[in-house]
Structure 1
Amino acid sequence: MAVVVRFVDKLGAIRESFIGIVHVKDTASTTLKQAIDDLLASKQLSIKQVRGQGYDGASNMRGEFNGLKALILKDNPSAHYIHCFAHQLQLVILVVAKKHAVSASCKRKDMLREEKKARVEKEILEGENKTGKGLNQEVSLARAGDTRWGSYHRTIISLLRLFPEVVTVLQYVKVDEDCSQQRINAKGILSYFKKLEFVFYMHLMGDILSYTNALSKHLQEKGKDLLEAANLINGTKGALNDLR
């Protein structure tokens, strides 16, 4: 289990510090709670000092009665729980990619393809798009894998490229889909798409994942020595810091 703390230093600046990786025998909430208590104690910190806690949406983490969130709140009611923002964005992307844009529906896939084709043709006629070898290739929404960051990067990039077409398909689902739950889901996603925070998160995560995806690919290459790997990691950290 990796543990990171965010705190305010003596100058009032917000800091984040990775304080350690702890081996846990299982992922039960009680095991995780004890590991966190022990790690904080080893750093001369206390769970009583915590004012916030954030994890993904797994039941062992956010469970109302026996989750890690609940166990910490029993010791410290001031440790307010916040669902991890990055994980929330992942869930939004998964909903879009799996349920509304790249599902098994051939009709939706054809609609996405035809809308994209019509937009490219219009842009070429109006001089807003260039033609040539390798340009204007057919694009589809990449299917995101729940545990692979690289797949999320591809999904975000393809969603940015196909955003107008995705909106058109969602509008179709909102009105004409036979399943009422899918109509409700489409309406909710369309509403979220209009918010500034969605646009901000989408572009920010696109930038972040482009750096981490490139680093991941480099680190998986054969023949990388430790010094080169360390330089790549430091370079990526510097690029991410520049986004702040």
Structure 2
Amino acid sequence: MKEHLRKITDHETQVHYLGKNMQNELIQILANAIKNKIVEAAHSGKYFSIILDGTPDVSHVEQMMMIFLIVDMKKSADEDNVEVLIKKHFLGFVPLTETTGAFMAETILQELEIVSLSVENLCGQGYDKGSNMKGKDNGVQRRMMEINPSAVFIPCSAHSLNLVVNDAASCLEASSFFDLVQGVYVFFSGEILTCHVNSLTVKSLSQTRWENPIDALKPLCYELGNIYDALIEISDDTTFTGSSGNMAHSDAEALANGLSKFKFVTSLILWHNILFEINLTSKQLQEKNLNIHSAIQKLQQTKNILEEFRSDERFKRTLVDSLKLAEEIDFPTEFEPEPVHIRQKK
């Protein structure tokens, strides 16, 4: 390669193979060679499973990601013993013009036909819990099982856990808490916050992966006092003028009042502890060597922990931690009385 580049630099050759079209062709040749090896191993092992997920690319074209789990029959050096391995291979992206279960199922069958893999040898399906994928009437899994009843559908455990947390956090109290957390992120710029917080920055919430808000809560847990001081400084800063300055003052004051309430501090400690366990389990559910038995055990452990959070004893421990944090940063240590709303009679 070094000699080849030298010849190009010294103009000893005009054939350099570095043009974008040639590079793309070389990449495609390598991709086809790897794909052929995977398909060859799939044919040798006969049985296979598929994992699918849909995602749009940068041009907003919906595409389906295809992953194959195959039985790899690997012969030992003496060729008398055969080592049986289950291997997972990414086979490529398939553009989709529709995202209905019927169209995606038809696309899968076409892709299997292209690589000459029989759907009769399909023994497993793994998708997320979208209605077009797992629907019991018109979902991809249902249509594939109509062709081959042995193609057992197993939903993504990590995605199922994510949906459970999403539903649990849909109550009014949780929504109000996370709205305030997101409000802090939206308000702050890095330059303003750096004056008070050296190593941490507030982060945005994820609307699709509910175990990820642990990253948004960590800065608040460990730097709540400094973030509060930054908000107070902004609310008292006289250099902010005009309508935008007045808005910055009022927003900073409103956020500071929200953060300083003991109810927020308690919610912060509680959700941080809950999401820490959820995040840990979610990462374990995405481990490379996870099997169904281990997934069930991990989910059962998480369920037991969440049930423990509902006990009086665990809530008292949460209150103790909240009191400690509130006292450290000189916040109120009692719950504020709920406002009484009097409905006006017509």
User: TM-score with structure 1 length normalisation?
Assistant: 0.49
Bigger Rg over Cα: 2
Which has the higher relative contact order, 1 or 2, with Cα contacts under 8 A spaced 6 or more apart?
1
